[in-house]
Structure 1
Amino acid sequence: MSIYQFDKERARREQARKDAEREQPSEPPIFNLPTVIVWLGGVMVAIHLLRSLVLPGGWDNLVLYLFAFWPVKYAAFSSLTPVEVASSIWGFVSYGFLHGSAMHIIFNLLWMAIFGTAVARRFGAGRFLVFSALCAVGGALAHLATNWGDTAPMVGASAAISGQMAAALRFVFELGGPLGAFRSSDRRAYLVPAQPLSECLRNQQVLVFVGVWFGLNLLFGLMSGPLAGQPASVAWQAHIGGFVAGLALFPFLDPVPQRRLH
């Protein structure tokens, strides 16, 4: 690369970083979390409290039937009513707003506060919500493919958060990133160019984080209570589906140009 091309590429990256920085919403003082994280977590908590403390059992079961993800619906799709067909469509996303226990939602909110915050500060609220919804869909598809016809419902934001983790791992360990060896303490830390996927998957820190993530999911998932009369279990396939979706979708929604290998 010539000096002229190098300067031109550096100027392009700097302009892209400034543009992305301008897109970011201002941060509220509460917990130093992005607004979209605070509101999204608040909606999940409100829904869980409503189901746990207000709705009678019959109404709660109806909420689960209409908004959880039920693989059995797709195996009997031709016999579904119009309402059931509609619920089988929005269920690819709505299941992420429901949780099986207080421990389940607390665990997910903690991980979203860590990894979701990094992605929200980089993407902005709009891109972050679209990205999270698509990762939830990816998790549901993976669960459906490996649990076809299963009568147990799937709930929880873990698939979407797995995608957020995958996205965060693409840039948080970069030089100048929030967890980099030489890190910045301001918004620029979240706008460093992402490392290429091939390099990311060889990073020992990334591999350790992934191992810890799935290990803790297993631990806390086994502690969850029953849901709608069904024994609780960890939807590993959905977690993997969300994580893979996050890796695949990240470059399409990332506002910062990716760092190139030379």
Structure 2
Amino acid sequence: MYRVLLIPHEIDTRELRQALWAQRISHRITQDEEGQTLWLADLKQRDATAELVRRWQQGEAMPPPTASRSRGQVDWALLLRQHPVTLATLALCVVVFAAIAVWGDMVLAWLAIVPLGISQGALAVGTIPDALASGQVWRPLSPIFLHFGWMHLVFNMMWLWYFGRQVERLNGPGRMLFIVVLAGLAGNLAQYATGTVLFGGMSGVDFGLLGYVWLMSRRAPSSGFFVPQMLVVFMLGWMIFTMTDLAGFVGFGNVANEAHLGGLLVGLLLGWYHSRTSRRH
């Protein structure tokens, strides 16, 4: 994100924000001790932004929307250019969820962290070295695409979309892909270390993204990252709650707590490292 303008706290920026979005100018307005800061996502839109700011400051009428599409219609081409990794990850989770509905346990056996099968009427469980030796190199990561119910899928995709868009817009798809893979591997291996082989979900990656975005916003405010503190408190509180016996008592058992923790630690480490680099620049 590129810092464009510092606006005093008492100034109402709603008209400016509406005009920027109407002209499809991706931006963010953050608040700190100095005032309200206008950030621009694409430097190519700098001149158009400057013109809108000038008209807004002089009290001139703001221009109407330039896009011909109807209100509420999504520009999928723009979203795909801006967030390719987030959208591809989300789409893959949805496809796998649909495949489970059609083929059931066959998909689970194919994407579980270790090979699974039936031998003499009992479940036969392989190991990660067995999987890698047989060329099944996807297994250490693939459980992140498994979801076991609509609520499981919807909530994980909601947080993936919320945090992933920030990472891709501000740091690019390469950084997003790196976080997804590393947090996914760390979360899956942490859960596997507890002796569990049938688990899944994007929540370990979601917590990794949370840790990354939170540390970037705290340690490098000029990076443009932002996450409400109450959201951080809620998600960390939820993670701690699911680790207690009370969670199982009220019906939230079988939560991959170690995957959450493993992903979060990766996100915090990456956030600490890259926020330090960002502050130097």
TM, length-normalised to structure 1? 0.60
CA contact (8 A) 2:145 2:200 kept: yes
2:278 equivalent among 250, 255, 258: 258
Q: 1:255 to 1:244 in 2, by over 3 A?
A: closer
> What is the identity, as a one-letter code, of the residue corresponding to 1:259?
R
Q: Deviations over 1:116-153 (max 9, x none)?
A: 222222221122112211111111221122x13x4x40
CA contact (8 A) 2:140 2:185 kept: yes
1:168 alignment counterpart: 213
2:201 alignment counterpart: 156
1:233 alignment counterpart: 254
Q: For 1:105-184, list aligned pairs within 5 A.
A: 105-145=153-193, 147-148=194-195, 150=196, 152-173=197-218
Q: 1:42 to 1:206 in 2, by over 3 A?
A: closer
1:65 equivalent among 104, 109, 116: 109
Which is helix-richer, 1 or 2?
A: 1
Task: Indicate whether 1:189 and 2:224 are aligned.
Answer: yes
Q: Deviations over 1:20-50 (max 9, x none)?
A: 977xxxxx83496733322321221122112
2:150 alignment counterpart: 102
Instruction: List structure 1 runs of 4+ shifted beyond 4 angstroms.
Output: 30-33, 82-85, 173-177, 203-207, 215-220
2:236 equivalent among 211, 220, 237: 211
Whole-Å Cα distance in 1 between the matches of residues 187 and 127 of structure 2?
Answer: 15
> What is the identity, as a one-letter code, of the residue corresponding to 2:90?
G
> What is the identity, as a one-letter code, of the residue corresponding to 2:99?
L
Q: Deviations over 1:199-241 (max 9, x none)?
A: xxxx976862443442686779x768xxxxxxx7101011101
* SS of aligned partner of 1:38: helix
> What is the identity, as a one-letter code, of the residue corresponding to 2:266?
A
Task: Indicate whether 1:50 and 2:99 are aligned.
Answer: yes
Larger Rg: 2
Whole-Å Cα distance in 2 between the matches of residues 173 and 223 of structure 1?
Answer: 35
> What is the identity, as a one-letter code, of the residue corresponding to 1:257?
T
CA contact (8 A) 2:186 2:266 kept: yes
Q: 1:101 to 1:37 in 2, by over 3 A?
A: same
* SS of aligned partner of 2:278: coil
> What is the identity, as a one-letter code, of the residue corresponding to 1:40?
T
2:27 alignment counterpart: none
Whole-Å Cα distance in 1 between the matches of residues 42 and 276 of structure 2?
Answer: 9
* 1:160 positional shift: 1.2
* SS of aligned partner of 1:92: coil
Structure 1 unmatched ranges of 5 or more? 1-19, 23-27, 178-187, 193-202, 225-231
Whole-Å Cα distance in 1 between the matches of residues 204 and 264 of structure 2?
Answer: 7
Q: 1:217 to 1:42 in 2, by over 3 A?
A: farther
2:127 equivalent among 70, 74, 95: 74
> What is the identity, as a one-letter code, of the residue corresponding to 1:49?
A
| Root-mean-square deviation (Å) | 4.1
Structure 2 unmatched ranges of 5 or more? 1-40, 44-73, 116-124
Q: Deviations over 1:95-120 (max 9, x none)?
A: 11111111111010011122222222
Which is strand-richer, 1 or 2?
A: 2
CA contact (8 A) 1:123 1:255 kept: no
TM, length-normalised to structure 2? 0.56
* SS of aligned partner of 2:183: helix
2:90 alignment counterpart: 41
CA contact (8 A) 1:70 1:154 kept: no
Whole-Å Cα distance in 1 between the matches of residues 210 and 164 of structure 2?
Answer: 7
Pick 1 or 2: higher relative contact order, CA cutoff 8 A, min separation 6: 1
CA contact (8 A) 2:183 2:205 kept: yes
Work out the number of aligned pairs and report it.
Answer: 196
> What is the identity, as a one-letter code, of the residue corresponding to 1:234?
V
